[in-house]
């Protein structure tokens, strides 16, 4: 059996590894358009190990992030990848948030997290002396990790199990004759029996090339970070998160200590003008037209007008960014922030303007498409891989 995995992000790499763990006899090729593995979302993220406290009980995200964080931490231990289970606190800054935080704690327990601890203001202060809040939730299983090293180790495992990595091999088209796929890439045409689409920001377009009618579109949301200056880094010990706003589809800006040193603040969530639009000035007319001609985007903008506008304004205004962060750590000032990196989220949106919250797989004869793998898919990648391979009819 010849398997072609499209995309050498963390999900594609983990899936390729899982296929070869179960079927050493298969011939497997990973195609990626870039020069090396994990050059997009998988290394342009917060580097956090999320345990699944936020997700709806029973959802794939809830199941696979709890399982996934345990798989990921033991993988990191086994491969000696830099990681630290330092714990996170979620901070409630008003009564409404305290109530929502209680619900989050219940959710976390139902999802199978262990060690969740309610913190009063004093206990919060002991764990994070500069965070302000009425109450907090300590999530001790969470942590930080070097996802770039994870991607490299996954690729090493794939190659030592006989898999091939074709870099600079952008998939341009696919046709199916009988039971065989002809995959056209910038590095030639390849015959495959089964394809797995893990193309992240381009997964909807790849699915379309393979004949899957488009029910959704990937809408790129850029997440911009600031770094804390060395002087301000002592204001944050580990991970400080807000209680997510239920009317906002992302987690809200937060503080993250990085595994190789430094502290980041962010990310925001701004509509990007290109699928790989890592800076404000990166514009792809094709991607922009693709988004603008999609009725779902307009419905989304009408549903969340103030959020979209405020995120855009805050992206250009450091003072407003600092103001949002001061809600969690009041001592932070604008001068403590220097511009940092950015990532672009591949977020699936339906035609009615709803963001797809859960992971989403679509299976077709001879193909599996991973059509929505946003956060925490890096943490959950090893569990997603098991789930995907369990469902592949090989
Ligand atoms: C700002 C931000 C912060 C995040 N923080 C976290 C976090 O702290 N913890 C966490 O668990 N998750 C986090 N996430 C989510 C996580 O990074 C992603 O869910 C995960 O990396 C998705 O992996 P992937 O393999 O699906 O996609 P990607 O890593 O994007 O990989 C897709 C691959 O497909 C390739 N590709 C695309 N088109 C083609 C083509 N035509 N031909 C060949 N190759 C192609 C690309 O080059 C790329 O390598 C964050 C994401 C963002 C953007």
Is 189 in contact with 175 (CB distance < 8 Å)? no
- The atom number, within ligand 1, closest to the CA of 37 reads 49
| Protein residue whose Cα sits closest to atom 9 of ligand 1 | 48
Ligand 1 centroid to 107 CA: how many Å? Answer: 26
Closest to 165 in 3D by CA, of 388, 369, 8, 21: 8
Q: Identify the CATH assignment for 2-44+148-215+357-391 out of 3.50.50.60, 3.90.1150.10, 3.30.1360.40, 3.40.250.10.
A: 3.50.50.60
Ligand 1 centroid to 250 CA: how many Å? Answer: 16
Tens digit of pLDDT at every position of the chain (394 positions): 999 999 999 999 999 999 999 999 999 999 999 999 999 999 999 999 999 999 999 999 999 999 999 999 999 999 999 999 999 999 999 999 999 999 999 999 999 999 999 999 999 999 999 999 999 999 999 999 999 999 999 999 999 999 999 999 999 999 999 999 999 999 999 999 999 999 999 999 999 999 999 889 999 999 999 999 999 999 999 999 999 987 677 888 999 999 999 999 999 999 999 999 999 999 999 999 999 999 999 999 999 898 888 899 999 999 999 999 999 999 999 999 999 999 999 999 999 999 999 999 999 999 999 999 999 999 999 999 999 999 998 7
Predicted local distance difference test score (pLDDT) of residue 95: 97
Closest to 328 in 3D by CA, of 136, 55, 162, 132: 132
Cα–Cα distance, 379 to 148 (Å, whole number): 12
Q: Which residues have C-beta within 8 Å of that of residue 367, sequence separation ≥ 6?
A: 181, 194, 195, 196, 197, 210, 212
- The atom number, within ligand 1, closest to the CA of 8 reads 49
Predicted local distance difference test score (pLDDT) of residue 386: 98
Domain ranges of the chain: 2-44+148-215+357-391, 217-350
* Predicted TM-score of the model (pTM): 0.97
CA-derived radius of gyration, the chain: 21
Ligand 1 centroid to 59 CA: how many Å? Answer: 20
Mutate to test the pocket of ligand 1, among 200, 257, 272, 388 (most ligand atoms within 8 A of CB): 200
- The atom number, within ligand 1, closest to the CA of 345 reads 53
Token output for 292: 């603008």
Residue-wise pLDDT for 2-15, tens only, equals 999 999 999 999 99
Predicted local distance difference test score (pLDDT) of residue 393: 85
- SS3 assignment for the chain: CEEEEECCCHHHHHHHHHHHHHCCCCEEEEECCCCCCCCCCCCCCCCEECCCCCCCCCCHHHHHHHHHHHHHHHHHHHHCCCEECCCEEEEECCHHHHHHHHHHHHHHHHHCCCCCEEEEHHHHHHHCCCCCCCEEEEECCCEEECHHHHHHHHHHHHHHCCCEEECCCCEEEEEEECCEEEEEECCEEEEECEEEECCHHHHHHHHHHCCCCCCEEEEEEEEEEEEECHHHHHHCCCEEEECCCCCCCCCCCEEEECCCCCEEEECCCEECCCCCCCCCCCCCHHHHHHHHCCHHHHHHHHHCHHHHHHHHHHHHCHHHHHHHHHCCCCCCCHHHEEEEEEEEEEEEEECCCCECCCCEEEEECCEEEEEECCCCHHHHHHHHHHHHHHHCCC
Residue 389 burial (CB count, 10 A): 21
Predicted local distance difference test score (pLDDT) of residue 123: 97
| Residues 217-350, CATH architecture | 2-Layer Sandwich (3.30)
């Amino acid at each position: 059996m010849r398997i072609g995995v499209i995309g050498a992000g963390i999900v594609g790499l983990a899936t390729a590894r899982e296929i070869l763990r179960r079927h050493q006899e298969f011939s497997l090729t990973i195609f990626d358009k870039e020069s090396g593995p994990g050059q997009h979302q998988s290394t342009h993220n917060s580097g956090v190990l999320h345990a699944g406290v936020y997700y709806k009980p029973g959802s794939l995200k809830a199941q696979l992030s709890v399982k996934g964080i345990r798989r990921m931490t033991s993988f990191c231990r086994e491969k000696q990848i830099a990681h630290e289970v330092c714990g996170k606190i979620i901070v409630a800054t008003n009564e409404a948030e305290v109530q929502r935080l209680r619900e989050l704690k219940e959710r976390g327990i139902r999802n199978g997290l262990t060690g969740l601890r309610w913190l009063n203001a004093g206990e919060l202060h002991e764990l994070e002396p500069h965070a302000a809040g009425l109450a907090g939730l300590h999530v001790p299983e969470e942590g930080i990790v070097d996802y770039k090293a994870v991607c490299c180790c996954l690729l090493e495992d794939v190659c030592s199990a006989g898999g091939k990595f074709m870099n600079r091999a952008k998939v341009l088209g696919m046709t199916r004759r009988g039971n065989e796929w002809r995959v056209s890439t910038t590095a030639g045409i390849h015959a495959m029996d089964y394809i797995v689409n893990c193309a992240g920001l381009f997964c909807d377009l790849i699915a379309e090339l393979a004949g899957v009618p488009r029910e959704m579109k990937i809408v790129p949301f850029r997440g911009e970070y600031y770094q804390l200056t060395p002087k301000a880094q002592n204001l944050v010990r580990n991970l400080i998160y807000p209680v997510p706003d239920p009317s906002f589809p992302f987690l809200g800006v937060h503080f993250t200590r990085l595994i190789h040193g430094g502290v980041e603040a962010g990310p925001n969530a701004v509509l990007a003008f290109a699928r790989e639009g890592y800076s404000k000035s990166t514009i792809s007319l094709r991607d922009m037209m693709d988004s603008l001609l999609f009725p779902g985007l307009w419905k989304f903008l009408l549903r969340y007008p103030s959020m979209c506008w405020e995120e855009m304004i805050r992206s250009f205004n450091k003072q407003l960014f600092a103001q949002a962060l001061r809600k969690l750590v009041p001592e932070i000032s604008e001068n403590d922030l220097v511009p940092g990196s950015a990532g672009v989220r591949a977020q699936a949106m339906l035609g009615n303007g709803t963001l797809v919250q859960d992971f989403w797989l679509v299976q077709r004869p001879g193909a599996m498409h991973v059509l929505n793998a946003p956060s925490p898919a890096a943490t959950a990648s090893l569990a997603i891989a098991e789930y995907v391979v369990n469902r592949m009819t090989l």
